[in-house]
Structure 1
């Protein structure tokens, strides 16, 4: 298992190198120059050139890239031009709200979707199954930002059950923290829950048609034991893969929801940094998100062996 983990981590090196190249050159080849934005339109050319030299932007772009990459390998992603703080520190401040929202949304999606998918599989072809599948199709079709606006109108403006917008840190209390995340988490998780419902149903149907499930039923085992101990356990490998993919998708999808609910997360950080041409923050943030994404996939791969002991890490394909 240690060899498998080492192999997977080493395989991430070329992936992250390609990501670093793409991120750096797209940012630096985009219109706008940090020195001009910082000094404003009234600055002279000499002042702009002096600031460019101070920021290290007067070197050729390939030189800037390898200087930045060398520092990034050691954990130094540079310093924010506007915040005058390390990029990792700025990222950590904005990442906490995004992580809280993403985890909460993922929990809601999993807790709702897996039981609903199991019910749909058990009631295959019935009105219950068709209703649940219709609901999942609706969930996939509704944009998260539109659902968020509807939730604000109904539960915040009309009923006044939840705040219209904003984020309450966990340090100010568990319930205020959860209360500030309920509506954005629902808006963010609905599409993921709908997808997970369909995948759970599909995986369960594949397993329920197997001979060993029929044999378990013929032995007189309770239906609950057959469904949850035998069928769900074997179907959960596929479900787990979908959970990992949706969790990574939630982190990216949280950008829009953060703007709708005015949550100071990664989405606001990236947009503000683009407007300010804060290159170090843009590059560092995207690189860290990509790193998080690949490590989530690695964690899901490792969980395969826990869920299904038949998986052999040394033989499983990447």
Structure 2
């Protein structure tokens, strides 16, 4: 197990280094001058040059990359060009919205998908199965931002149960804050739940045809008991794979939904920073999202070994 974890951890580090290089190079080739944008079009060339030197924009690219990476290792993300505030403070403030939103969306996704997928598999080729598959097909086809607008029209404008947008802050109470995240989380969860439900159904149906399930049924185990005791654990391997990818996608995919609901999350910070040409904030936020994706995939690999020891054995 230790060798398996070591190899996965080395892969994680290599991936993070590669991602940091890609993020840095992509932002380096973007046109425009951050100092010029901050100073305005009427600023003198001398003032723009002075600001560029102050921000470190005149240093060689390799040196700026090294300073950025060493700062990240030490927990220093630098100073925002536009806000004149440490980037780490901005990120932590926004993560207090984005992470709970992604967790809520993933919780809704898992609950809806597992129930729907197992229900459909247990009623294969029956009305319940056909109904679930039809609904999931519709869920896959609906963009989450369009569904978010529908939720606002129905629950905010018509029923007036929730606010149409904004975030009161955790200091106003946990319930008020979570209430503001319910509609955004639901709009994010719909598409992901539809995909995961179909994968859960396929995985369960495939295992229901295996010999060990038929043997259990021959020994008198009911179909429901065989489903929950023998099938579900083995079916979780492909399901967990997709769940890991979906959680990473939810973290990175909040940009559009946060703008629809006007939430002060990480996605909205990235959007605003791109508009302000605040590249140091964009660079750190994108790198943070990439790191989250890599770490989630690492956790999924570890869960593989826990659920199915054959995965660990084949990797050693």
Which range, TM-score by smaller chain? Answer: over 0.9
Alpha-carbon deviations, 1:109-142, whole Å to 9, x = none? 1111101101111111122211111111110100
**Which residue in the other structure is 1:56 paired with?**
56
The DSSP-based 3-state class of the residue aligned with 2:312 is: coil
Q: Quick one: structure 1 residues 136 and 26, their matched pair in 2 at CA, closer, same or farther if it must change by over 3 Å? A: same
**Which residue in the other structure is 2:37 paired with?**
37
Alpha-carbon deviations, 1:77-125, whole Å to 9, x = none? 2221223232222111111211111100110111111011011111111
2:302 is the counterpart of 1:315: no
1:171 and 1:8 map into 2 onto residues whose CA distance is 39
1:134 and 1:38 map into 2 onto residues whose CA distance is 51
Give the RMSD, CA atoms, in angstroms. 1.6
Moved more, 288-297 or 163-172: 163-172
1:68 and 1:154 map into 2 onto residues whose CA distance is 46
2:146 and 2:171 map into 1 onto residues whose CA distance is 30
2:22 and 2:306 map into 1 onto residues whose CA distance is 35
Q: Quick one: structure 1 residues 6 and 87, their matched pair in 2 at CA, closer, same or farther if it must change by over 3 Å? A: farther
Aligned pairs for 1:75-114 within 5 A: 75-114=75-114
**Which residue in the other structure is 2:133 paired with?**
133
Task: Give the Å deviation of 1:50.
Answer: 0.8
Aligned positions, number: 316
Alpha-carbon deviations, 1:223-243, whole Å to 9, x = none? 322111111111111111111
Alpha-carbon deviations, 1:195-248, whole Å to 9, x = none? 000000000011000011111112112332211111111111111111111111
Alpha-carbon deviations, 1:156-205, whole Å to 9, x = none? 00110111111233443232222111111111000000000000000001
Task: Give the Å deviation of 1:151.
Answer: 0.6
Q: TM-score, normalised by structure 2?
A: 0.95
**Which residue in the other structure is 2:258 paired with?**
258
4+ runs of 1 displaced by more than 4 Å? none
Task: Give the Å deviation of 1:35.
Answer: 0.8
Give the conservation status (yes or no) of the 8 Å contact 1:3–1:314.
no
Give the conservation status (yes or no) of the 8 Å contact 1:162–1:179.
yes
1:75 and 1:230 map into 2 onto residues whose CA distance is 46
**Which residue in the other structure is 1:271 paired with?**
271
Q: Which runs of 5+ in 1 are unaligned?
A: none
Task: Give the Å deviation of 1:314.
Answer: 5.4
Q: TM-score, normalised by structure 1?
A: 0.94
Give the conservation status (yes or no) of the 8 Å contact 2:34–2:279.
yes
Alpha-carbon deviations, 1:274-303, whole Å to 9, x = none? 111112111111111111111111111111
Task: Give the Å deviation of 1:38.
Answer: 1.1
Give the conservation status (yes or no) of the 8 Å contact 2:4–2:315.
no
2:284 and 2:250 map into 1 onto residues whose CA distance is 20
The DSSP-based 3-state class of the residue aligned with 1:42 is: coil
